[in-house]
Structure 1
Amino acid sequence: MEPITYRDAAINDADRIADLFVATFTEIFGHLYRPEDLASFLADHTARKFAAQMADPDYTIRLAELKGALLGYAKLGPLRLPVEAQKPAAELCQLYLLPSARGTGVADALMDWTFAEARARGAETLYLSVFTENHRARAFYARQGFREIGPYAFMVGDHADEDIILARDI
């Protein structure tokens, strides 16, 4: 089998990242929302928005690829979650994988990169939010050493999801 490769995203990757985000979010969570809420949410996750974030030095995206095909990505950015950080912090904004990449070690490799990149940016704590009913992701983050901080209303259109904010010292 070909090796999985990892690299920092470039502006010209924005379309592929947006496509992967829309496909995976819709597959995993799409059934939870009214069509208008899902459409509103996805309209805010366009290639243009990903490209703008990649042009912003506060954000960075790491890609996982197999034979040039995108398997997943991790997006690291400044802390935007509603928490009172006690130490310099960063936020894992997104970690998305195609279903075919689950269980392959890609998520672990992207998390290792996220920890290292956050530390290199001066962060001592990494935060993220996860849907309460996303048991697979919650188990993954628990294995990575994250602890629960508290509830968070993650908005998908006009629908408020019950998320949990997690943190880990890095």
Structure 2
Amino acid sequence: MKWRVRRAGADDAALLSLVANAAFLDTYAQSLDGGDLLAHCVKNNSADVFARWLGDPACVVTVAEVEPGFAPLGYAVITPPDFPIDLQPGDVELRRIYTLRQAHGSGIGAALMARARDDARAAGGERLLLGVWEHNARARAFYERQGFAVIGSREFVVGSEVHVDPVYALDL
């Protein structure tokens, strides 16, 4: 599979919303209540959410696309941190990093992660933080292979379910 990773622009909000919803539903459909999943996607993965990030100079959004045709296969979003832990100057949050299932094992996830690290450093970041669903063993193993270590936890709500998710950090 041939693909590319590029910085997303203002015109990409709708396509990012689509891939975000597809990846979230694909990842969690067998684990969480369907109504809760849909409500979460409507609230958190809308084109408006992505448009806000794309318009915020403190955020960087990256998209991975298959070639030819440039259909989206994944994305990453870095933002200022929003975690209930002791934050340090220079902390940056990897708010989202998702790939569609057909991209698993292709190197796209590692490329998105490398780009997120580079973008965080370019923004003056010294530590990259991320939260992950406690039961997502595949994602947790990926982050640990990338050098992340658990430094705390946070509550993450999807519908009526409250999850206690680990918070990972990587020194940049």
Same fold (TM over 0.5): yes
What is the alpha-carbon distance in structure 2 between the residues aligned to residue 88 and residue 151 of structure 1?
19
Which segments of 5 or more consecutive residues in structure 1 lack a partner in the other structure?
A: none
Aligned to 2:157: 155
1:117 to 119, 126, 129: 119
Which segments of 5 or more consecutive residues in structure 2 lack a partner in the other structure?
A: none
CA-based RMSD: 1.3
Question: What SS does the aligned partner of 1:131 have?
Answer: coil
Q: Which residues of 2 match residues 103-142 of structure 1 at below 5 A?
A: 103-142=105-144
CA gap 1:86/1:49 in 2 versus in 1, 3 angstroms: closer
What is the alpha-carbon distance in structure 2 between the residues aligned to residue 102 and residue 35 of structure 1?
23
TM-score (norm 2): 0.93
> Greater CA deviation, 126-135 or 154-163?
154-163
What is the alpha-carbon distance in structure 1 between the residues aligned to residue 35 and residue 106 of structure 2?
34
What is the alpha-carbon distance in structure 2 between the residues aligned to residue 149 and residue 10 of structure 1?
32
Aligned to 1:11: 10
How far has the Cα of 1:104 moved from its partner?
Answer: 0.7
How far has the Cα of 1:64 moved from its partner?
Answer: 0.9
Question: What SS does the aligned partner of 2:30 have?
Answer: helix
Letter in 2 for 1:53: W
TM-score (norm 1): 0.94
Aligned to 1:86: 88
Report the identity percentage. 36
Aligned length: 169
Q: Which residues of 2 match residues 54-93 of structure 1 at below 5 A?
A: 54-66=54-66, 67=68, 68-93=70-95
